[in-house]
């Protein structure tokens, strides 16, 4: 009975999606919503169907934050990303439909084929964006399979962003940045960053992909944060649709990528929400990050985009001492599951004394801001007579929480259920998005003239 209802609902949703797509030949935005719906339903349906295949080839992992530590499939982001890419492939002709129908004479008159009216540069933007995106999906999947080294994780997104930068160069080539008012007395109104601007954009790709990947590890948090960022981007785009022509085009472009992204992510989160039946893997994180980088770069709102990434930026900055080995970094920094209370607690790392200078400085800095908790190991409590000298040396250590946002939340608010922790992160993400909109649309006059 239930399955019949489900299949009827599914079929009607798919039919609805097709009706939307076929009735919107001249309205790509609606077509995009149709594809988003289609992507959502297909992802939702495919994930449980293909689960077993992933487990069969050992693409699976233990969910350590559960009592019975169930083994569930990993890297299911590849399904969601593949559905997304297929949707976008099928969507490509829609924004160009007017050249195919109204101006349909191009089909029959040979000399008009190379007619300058067709916006080849727009098509180029689409293709380059998809190429960069697909490269990152491939890279993420390979990373899930082989655990590639950090240095490649930084190098490969840079290479993946080449088509994007190339198209940026030939379509816009704008490398001036408008300086905020408070800085103008120093450098003037504009600065031409030149090639540095391309470096900035490719670093953006590296940052977006990796920053989501390090704010991860509990059920639903990867997709949850990505969904909130995506929705914020969509709202921001919608705010521009009544504006001037070039801005409308850019933000439409952004919507064409973001709307289907929201669809497939919703399809996947239904299986990844607490308690997860599937993990999403690095594939999803890279896919999501690159989608944001692509629209941020090609729709020219990379500064606003950075505002939507505030929790990720904080988490990255907070992680720096461990990422760069100033403080010892264990293999996993995920919160620790306490089977007695069934709650998550912050995980700790042991630091052997004597501490070296970088460690001491990092600890000093972060404890000043109350961001870490240092626990001294009280050797005096232990019966000293039983300890021989070597052992005593081993016991001479301190403990500190791992430097991640998740552990910090647990440190400040105490142990909590995994779902609650995810919700906490998502609330923070929503609040910072509100802050981002406030900065972008209310505080902006302090820094820039409003045109």
What does the binding site for its own copies look like in residue numbers (CB under 8 A)? 50, 53, 57-59, 78, 82, 85-86, 89-90, 92-93, 96, 99-100, 106-107, 110, 113-114, 116, 118, 120-121, 123-124, 127-128, 130-131, 134-135, 137-138, 141-142, 145-146, 159-160, 162-163, 166-167, 169-175
| Nearer of residues 135 and 276 to its own copies, judged by Cβ | 135
Contact (Cβ atoms closer than 8 angstroms) between residue 161 and residue 293: yes
Q: Are 408 and 371 in contact (CB under 8 A)?
A: yes
Tokens representing residue 29 in the block: 């935005």
Question: Could you tell me the smallest distance in angstroms from the CB atom of residue 350 to its own copies?
Answer: 30
Residue reference for tokens 């001491």: 360
Q: How far is the CB of 229 from its own copies (least distance, A)?
A: 25
The answer to whether the beta carbons of residues 99 and 54 sit under 8 Å apart is: no
How far is 211 from 313, CA to CA, in rounded Å? 7
Closest contact distance (angstroms) between CB of 207 and its own copies is 20
Minimum distance from CB of 303 to its own copies (Å)? 20
Pick between residue 34 and residue 335 the one whose CB is nearest to its own copies. 34
End-to-end CA, the chain = 59
Shortest reach from residue 187's CB to its own copies, in Å: 18
Count Cβ atoms below 10 Å from residue 368 Cβ, excluding itself. 9
| Nearer CB in complex with its own copies: 101/356 | 101
Minimum CB distance to its own copies, residue 184 (Å): 21
Minimum distance from residue 139 beta carbon to its own copies (Å): 9
Q: What is the DSSP letter of 85?
A: H
Residue 179 DSSP label: P
Distance CA 153, CA 286 (A): 10
Give the angle 131-136-142 at the CA atoms, nearest 5°.
130
d(C-alpha 82, C-alpha 60), whole Å: 19
Report the nearest approach of its own copies to the CB of residue 146 (Å). Answer: 5
**Least CB distance to its own copies at residue 69 (A):** 21
Distance CA 296, CA 122 (A): 16
Pick the closer one to its own copies by CB: 83 or 424. Answer: 83
Nearer to its own copies among residue 188 and residue 354 (C-beta): 188
- Residue 61 or 415: the one with the smaller Cβ distance to its own copies is 61
Q: Which residue has the tokens 């290479």?
A: 159
The residue (of 159 and 444) whose beta carbon lies closer to its own copies is 159
Nearer of residues 98 and 396 to its own copies, judged by Cβ: 98
Based on CB atoms, which residue is closest to its own copies, 132 or 232? 132
Task: Name the minimum Å distance from CB 143 to its own copies.
Answer: 12
Handedness of CA 308, 312, 317, 318 (dihedral sign): positive
- Cα 14 to chain center, whole Å? 27
What letters, b where the CB count within 10 A reaches 16 and e where it falls short, cover 93-127? ebbbeebeeeeeebeeeeeeeeeeebeeeeeebbe
Q: Residue 169 or 438: which CB sits closer to its own copies?
A: 169
State how beta strands 71-73 and 176-178 pair.
unpaired
174/246 Cα distance (integer angstroms)? 14
Contact 305, 224 (CB under 8 A): no
CB of 172 or CB of 273, closer to its own copies: 172
Q: How many residues does the chain have?
A: 451
Q: Are 317 and 365 in contact (CB under 8 A)?
A: no
Q: What is the 3-state secondary structure (H, E, C) of 426-443?
A: HHHHHHHHHHHHHHHHHH
Give the shortest CB-283-to-its own copies separation in angstroms: 11
Neighbours of 266 (CB within 10 A): 20
- Considering the complex, state which of residue 112 and residue 391 has its C-beta at the smaller distance from its own copies: 112
Q: Which residue has the tokens 């980088």?
A: 293
* Minimum CB–partner distance for residue 50 and its own copies (Å): 8
């Amino acid at each position: 009975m239930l399955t019949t209802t489900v299949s009827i609902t599914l079929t009607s949703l798919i039919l609805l999606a097709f009706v939307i797509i076929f009735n919107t030949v001249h309205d790509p935005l609606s077509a995009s919503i149709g594809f988003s719906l289609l992507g959502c339903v297909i992802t939702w349906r495919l994930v449980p169907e293909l689960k077993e295949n992933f487990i069969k080839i050992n693409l699976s992992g233990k969910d350590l934050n559960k009592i019975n530590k169930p083994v569930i499939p990993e890297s299911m982001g590849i399904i969601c990303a593949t559905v997304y890419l297929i949707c976008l492939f099928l969507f490509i002709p829609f924004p160009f439909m007017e050249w195919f129908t109204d101006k349909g004479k191009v089909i029959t008159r040979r000399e008009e084929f190379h007619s300058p009216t067709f916006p080849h540069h727009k098509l180029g933007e689409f293709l380059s964006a998809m190429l960069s995106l697909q490269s990152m999906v491939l890279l993420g999947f390979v990373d899930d399979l082989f655990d590639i080294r950090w240095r490649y994780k930084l190098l490969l997104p840079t290479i993946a962003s080449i088509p994007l930068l190339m198209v940026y160069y030939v379509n816009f080539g704008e490398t001036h940045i408008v300086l905020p008012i408070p800085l103008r007395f120093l450098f003037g109104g504009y600065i031409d960053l030149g090639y540095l601007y391309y470096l900035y954009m490719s670093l953006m790709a590296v940052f977006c992909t990796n920053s989501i990947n390090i704010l991860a590890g509990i059920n639903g948090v990867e997709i949850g944060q990505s969904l909130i960022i995506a929705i914020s981007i969509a709202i921001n785009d919608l705010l521009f649709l009544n504006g001037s022509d070039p801005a409308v085009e850019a933000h439409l472009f952004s919507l064409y990528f973001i709307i289907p992204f929201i669809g497939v992510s919703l399809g996947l989160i239904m299986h990844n929400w607490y308690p997860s039946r599937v993990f999403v893997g690095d594939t999803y994180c890279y896919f999501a990050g690159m989608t944001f980088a692509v629209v941020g770069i090609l729709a020219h709102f990379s500064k606003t985009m950075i505002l939507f990434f505030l929790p990720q930026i904080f988490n990255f900055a907070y992680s720096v001492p461990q990422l760069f080995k100033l403080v010892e970094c264990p293999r996993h920094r995920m919160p620790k599951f306490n089977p007695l209370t069934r709650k998550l607690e912050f995980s700790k790392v042991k630091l052997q004394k004597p501490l070296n200078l970088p460690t001491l400085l990092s600890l000093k800095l972060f404890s000043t801001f109350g961001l870490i908790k240092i626990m001294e190991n009280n050797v005096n409590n232990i019966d000293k007579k039983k300890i021989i000298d070597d052992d005593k040396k081993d016991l001479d250590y301190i403990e500190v929480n791992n430097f991640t946002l998740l552990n910090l939340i647990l440190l400040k608010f105490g142990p909590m259920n995994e779902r609650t922790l995810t919700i906490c992160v998502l609330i923070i993400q929503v609040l910072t998005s509100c802050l981002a909109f406030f900065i972008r649309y209310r505080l902006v006059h302090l820094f820039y003239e409003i045109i």
